[in-house]
Structure 1
Amino acid sequence: MGLIQGIPGEFEPQPWGEAIVRSRELLLLRIARPPADHEVRLPGLTTTPRHVVEDETGKALTWRRDGDDLVVRLPEVDQPPVVRVALQGKLRIVPPDTVTANADGVCDLTPTGPVAHLVARRAADVAVRFIGMVEPDSRHQIRLGGRRYGVTGQQVARTTIGPFPMPERRVVALTVPSGVRRVLVAPVGTVLASIHPGRDELTVVVTNFGRTPARGDVELPLPANWSATEHTWTFDDLGPGHSIGWSTRITAPPGRHELRAHLDAGRRSASSPHTITT
């Protein structure tokens, strides 16, 4: 896929110590717990280093890029050095919670806080569908990249929000309202099928990310030795921004399985896979 451009930010604590941002173009790596192989890995650094040296002596250290990670070889000494990393440009990182869109341009994520990070394989206008319990009368500012919308909790819970321009291969931040447990992001025009597991049933949801009504058929293919009360549905006149869902009780052997509903709703049909444990 190539290098993903990150966003300004700071690094989380690392197994070997911490990365301290001294300026937009300078990092210090404080080594508290030297790895046994003497290689320090700093994940998510997208800016290319200009040079990597011991901070006290200025001695050059061996380093390499491994995807979006920086790997530095430490000298085999009793007291590990502080490593100075001078960058060729402004510091940009890929946060560890970043979710990359699949081949259909869809991001399907479980947020862990008020901000989520996304990256698209190609530029597109997208819309966002939040899933969860949000107070209907609450007010929210939804930001993705450089655009924002003021919406009510009722809009958050019932319809898609957008469009937002997603640049190609650049990490962007999405604000997530409190109470949201899942987020679907898809290119505008997509009709998306997603799977939502419950205690002993599954719900198959179709969301219209387009600007015109949608119609089509949905099938839930099941693994061997599974059974369900229903596994095919038909829908018509699904309005722009809206969703429709069907629940089915399942019987399945123990294990982890990836399920993907098959959707036939025209050329922009897409399906988000979901792994469930039974």
Structure 2
Amino acid sequence: MALIQGIPGEFEPQPWGEAILRSRELLLLRIARRPPDREIRLPGLATNPLHVVEDHTGKALTWRHDGDDLVVRLPDSAEPPVVRVALQGKLRIVPPDTVTANADGVCDLTPAGTTAHLAARRTAEVAIRFFGPMDPEAQQHIRLAGRTYGVTGHQLLRSTIGPYRMPARRVLPLLVPTGVRRMLVAPVGTVLASLHPRGAELTVLVTNFGRARARGDVVLPLPAGWSATDQQWTFDELAPGRSIGWTTRITGRSGSHELQVRLDAGRRSASSPYSIQL
């Protein structure tokens, strides 16, 4: 992915040492363990470096961007060096849990904490569908991209929330409501198929992120040697913001396999792949 605009923050400990912010525009990379190839990687540096030098000698070091990572080649010296990175602006990072939308503009994520981080490849209006055991009476405030919606847990479980206007290539934090186990984010207008496994049972869910009712056909392709009680469905009059689902029982060889629904619901049909463990 091309370099994106990050958010203010700090770096976690790295395999080679630690990154310390000395001022708003200066990083010190303290090397505790020199890699065999003499290259260190600082993941998620969104601010462009001005120059990268060895701290005590001022010697310029070779560096490059690899996506959102800064890769520096260390000098050939006996002692572990300290690397000084002068930045072109305030430090901004891309958190390691950042999920970037796929080619259809869809993010499918399982939050690991109380905040998720999203990035869109293109500017778009999006909505969010939440899944998880939430208190239906609890009041929630869902904030993304500077816009907040106050909703109940009941609304979160039944319909999409939005729209939010997400700018291109910018990391945005999203506070995760208590109990949420999965979130789908899609551009407004999309009809999205997603997979939700539970043991040998698999729910195929279609969510209408559009503003008009939707209809279409759903097929669940399976790898050779797999079978399911049902593999195709038809839906009609799916209201905006709502979902419809079917549960099928699948059997097949053990292991992890990526499945993806084939959805025909018009021009904005999309499908989110999911890794299934049997």
Structure 1 residue 122 displacement after superposition: 0.8
Distance in 1 of aligned mates of 2:244 and 2:117: 27
Structure 2 equivalent of residue 191 of structure 1: 191
Distance in 1 of aligned mates of 2:164 and 2:39: 40
Q: State which drifts further: 170-179 or 1-10.
A: 1-10
Matched AA of 2:132 = G
Matched AA of 1:73 = R
Distance in 2 of aligned mates of 1:234 and 1:12: 48
Structure 1 residue 23 displacement after superposition: 2.5
Matched AA of 2:121 = R
Distance in 1 of aligned mates of 2:22 and 2:141: 32
Matched, 1:114 2:114: yes
Structure 2 equivalent of residue 229 of structure 1: 229
Deviations 1:66-97 (A, max 9, x none): 22211222223332122211101222211111
Structure 1 equivalent of residue 37 of structure 2: 37
Work out whether residues 2 and 68 of structure 2, in 8 Å CA contact, stay in contact via their aligned partners in 1.
no
Q: Which runs of 4+ in 1 moved over 6 A?
A: none
Distance in 2 of aligned mates of 1:65 and 1:226: 43
Distance in 2 of aligned mates of 1:191 and 1:268: 6
Counterparts of residues 124-273 of structure 1 (less than 5 Å): 124-273=124-273
Work out whether residues 64 and 72 of structure 2, in 8 Å CA contact, stay in contact via their aligned partners in 1.
yes
Structure 2 equivalent of residue 74 of structure 1: 74
Structure 2 equivalent of residue 22 of structure 1: 22
Deviations 1:148-176 (A, max 9, x none): 21221111222110001111111111111
Distance in 2 of aligned mates of 1:133 and 1:250: 24
Structure 1 residue 218 displacement after superposition: 1.1
Distance in 1 of aligned mates of 2:262 and 2:73: 48
Matched AA of 1:175 = L
Query: May I ask how many residue pairs the two structures share in their alignment?
Result: 278
Matched AA of 2:79 = Q
Q: Which runs of 5+ in 2 are unaligned?
A: none
3-state SS in 1 of match to 2:181: strand
Structure 1 residue 27 displacement after superposition: 0.8
Deviations 1:193-246 (A, max 9, x none): 101111111100011111122122211111111111111111122111111110
Work out whether residues 143 and 149 of structure 2, in 8 Å CA contact, stay in contact via their aligned partners in 1.
yes
Matched AA of 2:40 = V
Q: State which drifts further: 50-59 or 146-155.
A: 50-59
Distance in 1 of aligned mates of 2:65 and 2:192: 37
Distance in 1 of aligned mates of 2:65 and 2:230: 50
Counterparts of residues 49-60 of structure 1 (less than 5 Å): 49-60=49-60
Distance in 1 of aligned mates of 2:65 and 2:178: 37
Matched AA of 2:126 = V
Matched AA of 2:33 = R
Per the normalisation by structure 2, the TM-score is 0.95
Matched AA of 1:3 = L
Distance in 2 of aligned mates of 1:20 and 1:158: 45
Distance in 1 of aligned mates of 2:30 and 2:119: 30
Structure 1 residue 58 displacement after superposition: 2.8
Distance in 2 of aligned mates of 1:155 and 1:255: 36
Distance in 2 of aligned mates of 1:57 and 1:255: 53
Structure 2 equivalent of residue 93 of structure 1: 93
Structure 1 residue 13 displacement after superposition: 0.9
Distance in 2 of aligned mates of 1:70 and 1:7: 16
Deviations 1:114-149 (A, max 9, x none): 111111111100000011111111122211122121
